[in-house]
């Protein structure tokens, strides 16, 4: 389909979207001059510059993305790579909003690149890099030895990870301090007289699984509480699985009197399992859980919660990627978010 209206667009055809040529015609300048004037190049006279920018604003000139991208290779796109099965629901929503918030007044667009359970997590990243579809990439579910991070570092494409890696390679990340979270949770439970604690871990293989486990273990020995092993369960299992396993656990006589849970959805299942076993939350057992939206206290007011802000994570990750694209030192684009105190229901 050829959309031409006149044989040779002199920029006067009105209806069409204005281009540099349109601006050049209107200002009586050359296309090159207009291009440079718009990006404040120093060799353009101050008045010319102002004039061009004024006209551009007046007629609503917007650079053609395809033109820029073809010429410069710059896509003005950042891609968020998400697992279609295992991401937390609120995570997806909030992180997207966090990212869009930051890129709102930049020329960047956000594309969502999904991958499914069956795929190698490296696939979508490889696709993005090979096709040059984005200037920067955000990935979640970071692993200690993360092939995606390694790959992108090799290829020199800016990226940021949600969660840290542990490969001795430096790259931007944003992470929630899950070591601190687990520690706080244990100390809080100990403060309420709980001494036999079970941990519902993040998915094995992800970096923050280790952080959480360590924080839990270190705090346990600090307060002199003991762990009730619950290794068969992690937060990306199905609600039914977690519920069933929890009920099983709670029917044993060496059952825990406290839980630390790394995700709200898992917590719902844990509570259901506890109640299936005929026990009562707050009396027989306490549960400290992370949550990303303020819903757990509605669910059971006895729940003890720590908030994790995924929207903040999205913003930080976007800032990090943009920073790296902008030439900043990747090592300076790392942030760690400190957990709030454990919150009990008030009122």
Q: Which residues bind DNA (CB under 7 A)?
A: 1-2, 4, 7-9, 16-17, 19-21, 28-33, 35-36, 38-39, 43-46, 48-49, 63-64, 66-68, 70-72
Query: Considering the complex, what minimum distance in angstroms separates the CB of residue 135 from DNA?
Result: 14
Pick what 20 binds: DNA, a second copy, none; C-beta below 5 to 8 Å, kind-dependent. Answer: DNA
Phi-psi map region of 162: left, alpha, beta (phi>0 left; psi -120 to 50 alpha) = beta
Q: Is there a contact between 24 and 34 (Cβ–Cβ < 8 Å)?
A: yes
Burial class of residue 309 (count of CB atoms within 10 Å of its CB; 0-12, 13-18, 19+): middle
Pick what 38 binds: a second copy, DNA, none; C-beta below 5 to 8 Å, kind-dependent. Answer: DNA
Span interacting with a second copy, options 92-100, 139-147, 187-195, 220-228, rule CB under 8 A: 92-100
Question: What is the helix (H) or strand (E) element at residue 27, kind and residue range?
Answer: helix 20-27
Pick what 192 binds: DNA, a second copy, none; C-beta below 5 to 8 Å, kind-dependent. Answer: none
Query: Considering the complex, what minimum distance in angstroms separates the CB of residue 10 from DNA?
Result: 10
Query: Considering the complex, what minimum distance in angstroms separates the CB of residue 40 from DNA?
Result: 12
> b/e per residue, 37-58, with b = 16+ CB within 10 A?
bbeeeeebeeeebebbbebbee
Would you count residue 251 as binding a second copy (CB under 8 A)?
no
| Maximum Cα interatomic distance, the chain, rounded to a whole number of Å | 88
Among residues 54 and 70, whose Cβ is nearest to a second copy? 70
Could you identify the residue written with the tokens 């542990």? 166
Q: Mask of contacts with a second copy, 61-90, x by CB under 8 A?
A: -x-xxxx-xx-xx-x-x------x--x-xx
Rounded-to-integer distance, Cα 300 and Cα 214, Å: 28
φ, ψ at 199 (rounded to 5°): -115, 130
Which tokens belong to 242?
């977690």
Among residues 90 and 178, whose Cβ is nearest to a second copy? 90
Q: Give Rg (Cα) of the chain.
A: 26
Among residues 177 and 309, whose Cβ is nearest to a second copy? 309
Rounded-to-integer distance, Cα 47 and Cα 35, Å: 15
- Binding a second copy (rule: CB under 8 A), the pick from 34, 44, 94, 125 is 94
Query: Considering the complex, what minimum distance in angstroms separates the CB of residue 42 from DNA?
Result: 7
How far is CA 115 from each of CA 84, 86, 121, 125, 344, rounded to the nearest angstrom? 6, 10, 7, 10, 37
Pick what 39 binds: DNA, a second copy, none; C-beta below 5 to 8 Å, kind-dependent. Answer: DNA
Among residues 42 and 229, whose Cβ is nearest to DNA? 42
Among residues 24 and 103, whose Cβ is nearest to DNA? 24
Among residues 68 and 167, whose Cβ is nearest to a second copy? 68
Would you count residue 130 as binding a second copy (CB under 8 A)?
yes
Pick what 112 binds: DNA, a second copy, none; C-beta below 5 to 8 Å, kind-dependent. Answer: a second copy
Which tokens belong to 99?
């990212």
How far is CA 254 from each of CA 241, 332, 338, rounded to the nearest angstrom? 20, 47, 33
Pick what 19 binds: DNA, a second copy, none; C-beta below 5 to 8 Å, kind-dependent. Answer: DNA
**Terminal-to-terminal C-alpha distance of the chain:** 65
Would you count residue 298 as binding a second copy (CB under 8 A)?
yes
Would you count residue 100 as binding a second copy (CB under 8 A)?
yes
Q: In a 3-state reduction of DSSP, which class is residue 192?
A: coil
| Residues making contact with a second copy (CB under 8 A) | 1, 3, 17, 60, 62, 64-67, 69-70, 72-73, 75, 77, 84, 87, 89-94, 96-97, 100-101, 104, 109-114, 130-133, 239, 243, 265, 268-269, 271-272, 293-295, 298-299
């Amino acid at each position: 389909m050829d959309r031409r209206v006149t044989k040779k667009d002199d920029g006067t055809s009105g209806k069409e979207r204005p281009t540099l040529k349109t601006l050049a015609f209107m200002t009586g300048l050359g296309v090159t001059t207009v291009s440079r004037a718009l990006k404040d190049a120093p060799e353009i006279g101050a008045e010319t510059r102002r004039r061009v920018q004024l006209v551009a604003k007046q007629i609503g000139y917007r650079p053609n993305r395809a033109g820029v991208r073809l010429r410069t290779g710059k896509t003005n796109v950042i891609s968020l790579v998400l697992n279609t099965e295992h991401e937390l629901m609120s995570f997806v929503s909030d992180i997207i909003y966090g990212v869009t918030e930051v890129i709102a007044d930049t020329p960047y667009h956000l594309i969502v690149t999904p991958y499914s359970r069956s795929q190698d997590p490296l696939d979508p990243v490889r696709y993005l890099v090979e096709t040059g579809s984005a200037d920067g990439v955000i990935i979640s579910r970071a692993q200690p030895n993360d092939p995606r991070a390694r790959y992108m570092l090799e290829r020199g494409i800016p990226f940021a990870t949600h969660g840290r890696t542990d490969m001795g390679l430096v790259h931007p990340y944003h992470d929630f301090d899950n070591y601190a979270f687990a520690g706080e949770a244990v100390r809080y439970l100990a403060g309420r007289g709980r001494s036999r604690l079970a941990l519902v871990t993040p998915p094995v293989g992800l970096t923050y699984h280790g952080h959480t486990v360590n924080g839990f273990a270190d705090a346990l020995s600090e307060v002199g509480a003991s762990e009730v092993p619950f290794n068969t369960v992690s937060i990306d299992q199905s609600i039914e699985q977690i519920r069933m396993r929890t009920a099983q656990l709670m029917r044993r006589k060496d059952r825990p009197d406290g839980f630390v849970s790394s995700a709200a959805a898992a917590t719902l299942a844990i509570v259901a399992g506890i109640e299936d076993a005929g026990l009562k939350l707050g009396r027989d057992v306490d549960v400290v859980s992370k949550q990303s939206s303020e819903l757990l206290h509605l669910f059971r007011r006895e729940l003890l919660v720590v908030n994790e802000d995924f929207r903040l994570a999205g913003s930080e990750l976007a800032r990090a990627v943009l920073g790296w694209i902008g030439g900043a030192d990747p090592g300076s684009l790392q942030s760690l978010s400190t957990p709030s105190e454990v919150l009990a229901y008030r009122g």
